[in-house]
Amino acid sequence: MLTLRKSSERGHADHGWLQSYHSFSFADYHDPAHMGFGNLRVINEDRIAPGTGFGTHGHRDMEIVSYVLDGALAHKDSMGNGAPGATNGGVILPGDVQRMSAGTGVLHSEFNHATDRATHFLQIWILPARRGIAPGYEQKHFDAAAKRGRLALVASPDGRDGSVTIHADASIRAGLFDGDERAELPLDPRRLAYVHVARGTVRVNDRGLSAGDAALLDGEPRLVVEGGDGAEVLVFDLAR
């Protein structure tokens, strides 16, 4: 079964400095029919105004993935990432995938330090396979060539194929599609798959999707992504 969720059906929060669209219930947006999908709990599409951002706040027991589409996101946390001289500078750019395991508890902040450009990114939360792990951080870059016309693995439980390691029974793939570019992925019908269109338009199993739309797949044997026009797509393989 394939179910479409249109962009216009998502929750929306206008904070002035932040425009946020919620695929699932989050903060003041509550919809009992959309509390998550499998172990995928949050996809927020956020636009942060220049010179603003999220002040220091805490998380626990969540795998948090940030995927920047435009601009830059400056990250600092209680593990030392983003501090002067740190191994991880904490600036996330388009093509970067950042994973923060909140585990037993972490504090962090996220800012757009640009004076003339908004930061557009996806904030993704996935429920961990085990609670109470040590907090952790990882960041890798996946250039456009790695994602062009294919679904490149960018996050997985074992870090295979150069992906970041998430401590969850889930994986994330990312792809860029235009024209006759096409990718096919076999699916385990015992699991769930979720497709989020970050930008552009594309066909997913012969269904047309636009930016912000999602396809929820349950029991489907395969996924076909094709017919893209400036499309950037994220595909999640999820536990039920």
Compute the half-sphere exposure of residue 237: CA atoms within 13 Å on the CB side of its CA.
23
- Burial bucket for residue 28 (CB in 10 Å: 0-12, 13-18, 19+): exposed
Compute the half-sphere exposure of residue 5: CA atoms within 13 Å on the CB side of its CA.
21
Strands 119-126 and 164-165: unpaired
Give 10-residue mean pLDDT values along the chain (240 residues). Answer: 97 98 97 97 98 96 98 94 79 96 96 96 98 96 97 98 98 98 96 98 98 97 98 97
Distance CA 37, CA 238 (A): 8
User: Dihedral of CA 121/126/132/137: which sign?
Assistant: negative
CATH classification of 2-238, choosing from 2.60.120.10, 3.30.420.40, 3.40.50.150, 3.40.50.300? 2.60.120.10
pLDDT of residue 21: 98
Q: Are 177 and 225 in contact (CB under 8 A)?
A: yes
